[in-house]
C-alpha cells in the first residue's frame, strides 16, 4: 500500500489468540498507518455504544482527511 493512509480500528476486549499480531501486520501494510485499539470494547460494543462508535467515526474522519490531503482537495 506504500504510504496510502490506513487506520486499523480494533476492539480491546475478547480478543482472539493471534488477532493482535494480525492487526499489527495489517497496519504495517502502509507507512502512513494508525493502529487504534479501543479499550473496554468488543466487536459489538465498538459500534453499538455511542462513545465507542464516536471513536470509530473520528478514526474514519481522520483517515479520510489524510487521504484527501494527499490528493490536495477537500472532503
Phi, psi for residue 42 in degrees, rounded to 5? -120, -175
Q: Looking at the domain assignment, is residue 52 inside a domain? A: yes
* Contact call for residues 57 and 36 (beta carbons, < 8 A): no
Q: Looking at the domain assignment, is residue 1 inside a domain? A: no
Rg of the chain in Å (alpha carbons): 13
29 alpha-carbon distance from chain centroid: 13
pLDDT in tens, 23-73: 999 999 999 999 999 999 999 999 999 999 999 999 999 999 999 998 886
Based on the structure, what is the number of domains in the chain?
1
Q: What is the pTM of this model?
A: 0.81
Segments forming the whole domain that contains residue 65? 6-71
Phi, psi for residue 16 in degrees, rounded to 5? -70, 150
Amino acid at each position: 500500500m506504500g504510504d496510502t493512509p490506513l487506520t486499523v480500528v480494533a476492539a480491546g476486549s475478547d480478543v482472539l489468540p493471534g488477532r493482535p499480531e494480525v492487526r499489527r501486520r495489517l497496519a504495517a501494510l502502509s507507512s502512513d498507518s494508525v493502529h487504534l485499539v479501543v479499550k473496554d470494547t468488543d466487536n459489538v460494543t465498538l459500534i453499538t455504544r455511542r462513545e465507542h462508535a464516536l471513536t470509530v467515526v473520528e478514526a474514519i474522519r481522520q483517515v479520510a482527511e489524510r487521504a484527501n490531503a494527499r490528493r490536495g482537495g477537500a472532503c
